[in-house]
Amino acid sequence: MADQNTEQVKEPRKPGELSTNRPAPPVETDSAAAPVPDPAAGKPAKKSAKE
């Protein structure tokens, strides 16, 4: 953590990249979680549509 903080202060352009890196991890998790809940959500989703 301290290393990232030092790098951010070292390069003023790093903060911009950090912002992009921040949303990058959540996006990957969404992709990995999307396929998992996709099939499970698809079942309940159909029920909801029928209702």
Contact between residue 18 and residue 24 where contact means Cβ atoms under 8 Å apart = no
Contact between residue 27 and residue 20 where contact means Cβ atoms under 8 Å apart = no
- Check residue 25 and give its pLDDT: 54
- Check residue 22 and give its pLDDT: 52
- Check residue 7 and give its pLDDT: 55
pLDDT, one tens digit per residue, over 3-43 is 555 555 555 555 555 555 555 555 555 555 555 555 555 55
What are 36's two structure tokens? 């998992």
- Check residue 40 and give its pLDDT: 53
**Which positions ≥6 away from 14 have C-beta within 8 Å?**
7, 8
Contact between residue 18 and residue 4 where contact means Cβ atoms under 8 Å apart = yes
Whole-model pTM: value is 0.11
Furthest-apart CA pair in the chain: how many Å? 57
